[in-house]
A and B are shown apart, each in its own frame.
Chain A
Amino acid sequence: MRNISIIFLKQLKDTLKNKAVLIQFVMFPLMAVIMENSVKIEGMPENFFVKLFSVMFVGMAPLTCISSIISEEKEKNTLRALMMSNVKPLEYLCGIGSYVWLMCMAGTAIFAVCGGFTGVSLVEFVAVMAAGVVLSELIGGVIGIFSRNQMSATSVTIPVMMIFSFLPMLSMFNDKIEKVANLTYTQHLSLLINGLGTAPIKAENLLVPAVNCLFALVLFVLSFKRISKNPF
């Protein structure tokens, strides 16, 4: 537990000086606040920007942050120095994972306040975001662990992140895209968030993210075995 908190604190200090990662946590909540308060169009759904950007946030921030953090540590061999100091791979992953999760939940809090969610809607929104962040972290972790350096991580992260964060928005305009998007967890998180407190939760809204999660978990376990065997 001590090593997890040390990695957590290290990451906190590091991120405050790392604009590339910091901006991921701030960008979408800030855009939601600005857009919700500045764009008023007649007939526009309530909390349109909060719902749109919160899904993008879930698909982008945890995924890019985790893959960027792990790949940087691998590239600079600081991960090797940590492992040789008796930090276990699981402790390291829990340290950065809990840090990114908490930062994303702080962003979620901004979305929730901006959207004025209360009661059941608030609980549902936070739960959907919390689960989505974990799923994105798993995917980001897989990319980070399998990448040799930051450049190769970025080249994989960008298309993956674009699929998960932009498909729900694009599916609003195109039926074919919607069919593809229906296979992704972010599309169903988007449907859940858009139906907060009004539409009933359909089984597929939970099933698809669960299948996505299972798939990500298998990949994560495989990559974790790799990092446990040879963290270098």
Chain B
Amino acid sequence: MSKAIEIKEIRKSFGEKKVLDGISLNIEKGEIFGLLAPSGAGKTTLIKILTGQLNADSGTSIVNGINSNALTGAECRKFGIMMDNFGLYDRLSCCENLKVFAGIYGIGKERIYEVLEAVGLAESAKKSASALSKGMSSRLRLARVLLHNPEILFLDEPASGLDPASAEEIQKLILAEKSKGKTIFLTTHDMAEAELLCDNIALLDGGKIVEYGNPREICRRYNHKKTLKIHLKNGEDMELPHNEKSAEIIAEMMKNGGLETIHTSEPTLKDVFMELTGKELSQ
């Protein structure tokens, strides 16, 4: 697979505050990459640098083979950027909002209805954007991003602040785009979302990448305890080590019918982040 995004030693400070301190990453084409960090840690800054909205103090970022500093408007058309604060035209309907951008991209009307259908807003096409719920607004912003069928999607906390059902809808749409071969750069502070969606993640803290890799592999890597948590039908909880003896004990319990549930002790991404930084991801 070739690289969709290459980031080398990116540094960015705002005044005295170092926001990004030597970030290096490679993202393959067709991959969903998740950048996990607490709010205000520099996730949005990195997206702005990658999409040419902001210049880094030093380092290089190559997106689709082109340096971010040299991106032209035509090249930006290959991106779909969904930032939390990219607003909608409140007084215009969903359809009219998309028509503005369809006109700019030179896309036919049929694509507008296709995208509205895909994000589940076909029935609200004539509803004004101001009358939409937060979840529907997010879906409309995602529809705007998908409208011109971009090669790379930059999604900045796409499901942030949404109820679980709306968040799940957004996640389904993101997975549907991945299945079409799109490269997706996602920022989130939701570990469950990252585990569900991402092929690879990077944990960002203090402007540096503190861990990188497949979310499940990372969790396995930090599984220091290697124990099994067992809940018995009599309400008792047990923790057994990973060894042959434990296997015999568990087999006996299963024969007796005393076993209710059994889980491995792998840490979650939240635990890993906590171990590495001493901070909560949702801070």
Q: Footprint of B on A, CB under 8 Å?
A: 2-3, 6, 9-10, 13-14, 17-18, 76-78, 80-82, 84-88, 232
Partner of B101, one of A14, A17, A85: A85
Across the interface, which residues of A come within 8 angstroms of B85, CB to CB? 77
Q: Are A13 and B96 in contact (CB under 8 A)?
A: yes
Q: How far is the CA of A78 from the CA of B100 in the complex (A)?
A: 11
B92 close to A10 (CB less than 8 A): yes
- Cβ contact within 8 Å between A80 and B74: no
A85 contact from B83, B90, B104, Cβ within 8 A: B104
Closest residue on chain B to residue A10 by CB atoms: B100
Q: Is B109 in contact with chain A by the CB < 8 A criterion? A: no
Q: Which residues in window 42-98 of B have CB below 8 A to A?
A: 51, 53, 73-74, 76-77, 79, 81, 83, 85-92, 96
Q: Are A84 and B51 in contact (CB-based, < 8 A)? A: yes
CA distance A14 to B104 in the complex (A): 17
Residue of B at shortest CB range from A78?
A: B87
In the complex, A17→B90 CA distance in Å? Answer: 10
Residues of A close to B74: CB separation below 8 A: 86
Minimal Cβ-Cβ distance residue in B for A87: B104
Residue contact A81 to B144, C-beta cutoff 8 Å: yes
Residue B106 lies at the interface, judged by CB distance under 8 Å to chain A: yes
Q: Quick check: A86 and B83 within 8 Å, CB to CB?
A: no
Q: Which of the residues A3, A13, A77, A85 comes within 8 Å of B87, measured between beta carbons?
A: A77
Residues of the B chain whose Cβ atoms lie less than 8 Å from the Cβ of A80: 53, 83, 86
Partner of A6 from B76, B91, B100 at Cβ < 8 Å:
B100
- What's the nearest-Cβ distance from chain B to residue A204, in Å? 43
Beta-carbon contacts under 8 Å, B103-131 to A: 103-106, 128
11 pairs, A vs B, C-beta closer than 8 Å: A3-B104, A6-B104, A76-B90, A78-B87, A78-B88, A80-B86, A82-B104, A84-B53, A84-B86, A85-B101, A86-B74
Q: Which residues of B are found within 8 Å of A76, using beta-carbon distances?
A: 87-88, 90
Contact A86 B91, beta carbon cutoff 8 Å: no
**Using Cβ atoms and an 8 Å threshold, which residues of chain A touch B101?**
81, 85
